[in-house]
Structure 1
Amino acid sequence: MVVVQLKKAVLQLKAGDEVAVALRDIRAGEALLPFDLLAATDIPFGHKAALRPLTRGDVIHRLGQPIGLATVPIVAGAHVHLHNMGFERSMAGRAIATRLSNAVRLAQSELPTFDGYVRQDGRVGTRNHVGVLTSVNCSALVASMIADHFRNPAALAPYPGVDGVVALTHKSGCSVADGSRSMNMLRRTLGGYARHPNFSGVLLVGLGCEDNQIDQLVEEERLELGEDLQKLVIQETGGTRASVRRGIEMVEAMLESATKAERQPVPASGLVVGLQCGGSDSFSGISANPALGVAVDRLVACGGTAILSETPEIYGAENLLLERAASREVGEKLIGLLEWWEEYTKDEPQGFDNNPSPGNKAGGLTTILEKSLGAIAKGGTTNLVEVYGYGQRVDKCGLVFMDSPGFDPMSATGQVAGGANLIAFTTGRGSCFGCRPAPSIKLATNSEMFARMEDDMDINCGTILDSDRSMEELGEEIFSAMLATASGKPTKSELLGYGQDEFAPWHVNAWL
């Protein structure tokens, strides 16, 4: 449990750490309470202060884990950041399955429930959308025009119980060869969305001459065309206007079916939650991320599933997952992903360390090692039971990992393709984000940002820093919010209309 007294100026996260985090803006000469030490320089809110003198090459720790090296001598009380701390390749150990936890599972009679949509394949939806997906960039306008028709409340009024019509478009689908990694990933992503339980029906819209042929997509992804999954090809239908008219008619038929779906009580084991953090700050790993981790432990105990992703954002702290890998095979899969990313990023100017964005750094995060340490906290303390490729269907319960970039929309897109019916998104800087058809709960890491952006944030996790609230209490609030959201309570991002533009399938190899 983290409890911070307001009189404190800095917080040392673990005894022995060479640095502490500033709980407010600190001026040079001010006491770094509770330590008998004066600030040698100004230290911004959320940034690090040196608690003892450091020489060049000294390893700097946070939460007992290495986050970088001193690049110059640093005096006690000085600001520690980009100007005097640098990146070193991962210093984390890679021992596998050395710290397994005993799985805790609630009895069926003890499971909390939410009101969800049980689909024909048994999976549970938390929303009831109709989707319009595109095979290629060239069909994006037609798909958007079809969905835009139903933005008019009058057009959707005859279909009570439907959350809306969602157009999800992208910039690929042509000049991408069959059998290439990019084409396989695109089709896997589209296939995952086409069968997603938050969609009651899906219309696939193509141009006709693209590389990503709809019939081939359907065949490779083992989809079945029918009343709830239909296709529309622009060149065969007669062009743009004719296709929009026909698409509206097809969607209206799907809406007739969708309005018949009803929510029913289902156990919390039906939740599949994608875990995201973006626009992070130094408090992400102190408040929102570990609180989300508490909620994840609660979810896993109920038989539910949590998907941790963003492979570049576990680098440097991978030991914390490898130690909890349920088997050597699972651990070796994770190491294989990290080795692929080391090769993939070697030509980048800063390699892995290019991941922390300017906003992350302004919020006090200095290296990818430090960012990863906070990011992994979202995964709680349970065992890691499986590792998946991007967009692969998640078929195991518990904490799992999915390969993805650190770009939030791209990462969340893969999670939803894998079956996530809810997203929990932590942010310290104030990311504005949605991910239809899955609702996204936004968790603020500090009270100042929550107050400034309350219209975008669902839960203020900064209360762990400025009150006597326990991490367990906050984790329980997040878990309760998951159940309420899954039952239909709209999130702030949904009320604002986020979620269509954030659809972003990951493409690896170059387009020809």
Structure 2
Amino acid sequence: MSESDAAVIRLHADDDVAVATGKLPAGTPVAGDAGVLTRAAIPAGHKVALRAIVVGSPVSKYGQVIGVATQDIAAGDHVHTHNLAMSSARAGAERREWRPPAQPPCNFMGFRRSDGRVGIRNYVAVLTSVNCSATVARHIAEAAERQGLLARFPNVDGIVPITHASGCGMASSGEGYDVLMRTLWGTAANPNFAAVLVVGLGCEVLQIARLTQQAAWRPQASVRSLTIQDTGGTRRSIERGLGELADMLPEVDAQRRTEVPAAELVVGLQCGGSDGWSGITANPALGHAVDRLVALGGTALLSETPEIYGAEHLLYARADDAVAAKLRAKLDWWEEYTTRLGAEMDNNPSPGNKAGGLTTILEKSLGAVAKAGTAPLVDVIGYAEPVRRRGLVFMDSPGFDPCSATGQVASGATMIVFTTGRGSAFGYKPSPSIKLSSNTAIYERMRDDIDLDCGSIVTGGATIASKGDEILDLMLAVASGKRTCSEELGYGGAEFVPWQIGAVM
């Protein structure tokens, strides 16, 4: 990152635009010796043209194409939705040998489960097979809290009802069924859950027997189940559910943290409410932390497939041919899917993203990919499929944050790290969410919600590397039990949102 003037940041020598470090009045110098002045007021985080750009020409930021000029743009003009649009052009990306950062061993205090995996929280799940059992599952969890069931079990972090809107009115086979089944399996298998109570209605398409009999997702001794119809209705089901929890809690409470290597950490990467600073501060700082984690043998999950569109060539260059082909297949599916539904991949960015300075999905994606650092891409998996390899892995998912995070947790993520520029009110259970701000203004406005500010990278108070080091230290602290802002606020009980694919019948 290089500055062309204190008023703006120019990210690459070949860029046609720079980013305003603050609100710039008309007439502000932005290009030093070139004598470029802003021709209108430029909002903070938005783009200003550094040179004249002819209509139809590609426009570059990050040294990459972010769109095409829809009209002639003069040096000093504000560059945004009124004069910049989606482009099919892509810049090149070279394959480079990755040199892992020098990294001394790091450890954290986690829960080593009987299957060898490591959790960072010690929850019990009340998992539903169908929406019809959602209320009973919530009543069981709420009654356990109301009756003080956990008072004698201080080592249990809580009881989490996992409810959703599906499980019936769907085909009993096919893609939609398979996605929901493996999302439920994977969530129940997440090592942040020490035990699981499965609650069903009884007559649903997604039968509990298939969940519990076919799944090798956890030791059977840590799984209990009931159906409302067989148990005798709502009140009896709540009573029985409380009894099942009471039986399981002593063993859950007996779990203890032990020192384990950082290689056991699986982190889901998310960004939401992004702005013009996200790809300059928080995302590359998180990317630095990811490189350090991967060098330690840990795993990071990049997702949100629509939000890598336009930056996919950068990921191809970090993968072998087989992995690159897997990623290309996922993007081909999304292009066909959006076309069939009458949408476009550039329907993203959202209105909030655009207000924060992002214009096209190309620009948003180039900044979003920065949170994955520079490590090789070692695998591409489907939504909620289990992680099979350590390192940087891509999991296919929508860009909707709760849905994407749900898939990551089902794939094995024990922690979510979430960058934001516009502000985020998000958390997840059982996997705690660390939130990073891209600018100091939103951090100060939402101090209760955001764990770490990366805005000081712009002012020179920190570097990408130093802030990345802070992020890794925070990740290890949270893995050892430090509570995040979202945990303190009680977030995470309503954010389970499986990806619903296929017909609702």
The two structures have a TM-score, normalised by structure 2, of 0.96
Q: Is the 8 A contact 1:105 1:303 kept in 2?
A: no
* Identical columns (%): 54
Residue matched to 1:474: 467
1:511 aligns with 2:504: yes
Deviations 1:264-306 (A, max 9, x none): 0000001000000011001110000000000001000110000
Residue matched to 1:101: 98
Distance in 2 (alpha carbons) for counterparts of 1:3 and 1:500: 43
Residue matched to 1:297: 291
Q: Is the 8 A contact 2:14 2:63 kept in 1?
A: yes
Deviation at 1:90, TM superposition (A): 5.7
Residue matched to 2:269: 275
Q: Which residue identity does 1:377 align to in structure 2? A: A
Count of aligned pairs between the two proteins:
504
Note the residue ranges of structure 2 that are not aligned, 5 or more in a row.
Answer: none
Q: Is the 8 A contact 1:277 1:427 kept in 2?
A: yes
1:394 aligns with 2:387: yes
1:456 aligns with 2:454: no
The two structures have a TM-score, normalised by structure 1, of 0.95
Q: Which residue identity does 1:424 align to in structure 2? A: V
Residue matched to 1:446: 439
Q: Is the 8 A contact 2:58 2:89 kept in 1?
A: no
Distance in 2 (alpha carbons) for counterparts of 1:85 and 1:4: 23
> Which of these residues, 301, 312, 316, is aligned with residue 318 of structure 1?
312
1:250 aligns with 2:248: no
Residue matched to 1:79: 78
Deviation at 1:151, TM superposition (A): 3.4
Deviation at 1:98, TM superposition (A): 2.6
Residue matched to 1:19: 17
CA 263–90 in structure 1, closer or farther in 2 if over 3 Å, else same: farther
Deviations 1:29-52 (A, max 9, x none): 222264622111121111111111
Deviation at 1:75, TM superposition (A): 1.4
Q: Which residue identity does 1:100 align to in structure 2? A: E
Deviation at 1:73, TM superposition (A): 1.0
Q: Which residue identity does 1:302 align to in structure 2? A: L
Deviations 1:422-475 (A, max 9, x none): 111000010111111001100000000000001000000111111331211111
Distance in 2 (alpha carbons) for counterparts of 1:231 and 1:60: 57
Deviation at 1:319, TM superposition (A): 1.2
- SS at 1:227's partner residue? helix
1:307 aligns with 2:305: no
Q: Is the 8 A contact 1:129 1:162 kept in 2?
A: yes
Distance in 2 (alpha carbons) for counterparts of 1:467 and 1:3: 12
1:212 aligns with 2:212: no
Deviation at 1:316, TM superposition (A): 0.6
Q: Is the 8 A contact 1:3 1:465 kept in 2?
A: no
Counting only pairs closer than 5 Å after superposition, residues 127-166 of structure 1 correspond to structure 2 as: 127-152=121-146, 154-166=148-160
> Which of these residues, 238, 249, 254, is aligned with residue 260 of structure 1?
254
Q: Which residue identity does 2:30 align to in structure 1? A: L
RMSD between aligned residues: 1.7
Q: Is the 8 A contact 1:3 1:469 kept in 2?
A: no
> Which of these residues, 165, 177, 194, is aligned with residue 171 of structure 1?
165
Residue matched to 2:67: 68
> Which of these residues, 365, 372, 376, is aligned with residue 358 of structure 2?
365
Deviation at 1:232, TM superposition (A): 1.2
Q: Is the 8 A contact 2:133 2:228 kept in 1?
A: yes
- SS at 2:284's partner residue? helix
- SS at 2:203's partner residue? coil
Q: Which residue identity does 2:374 align to in structure 1? A: T
1:431 aligns with 2:429: no
Distance in 2 (alpha carbons) for counterparts of 1:288 and 1:244: 44
Distance in 2 (alpha carbons) for counterparts of 1:90 and 1:341: 18
Note the residue ranges of structure 1 that are not aligned, 5 or more in a row.
Answer: none
1:337 aligns with 2:335: no
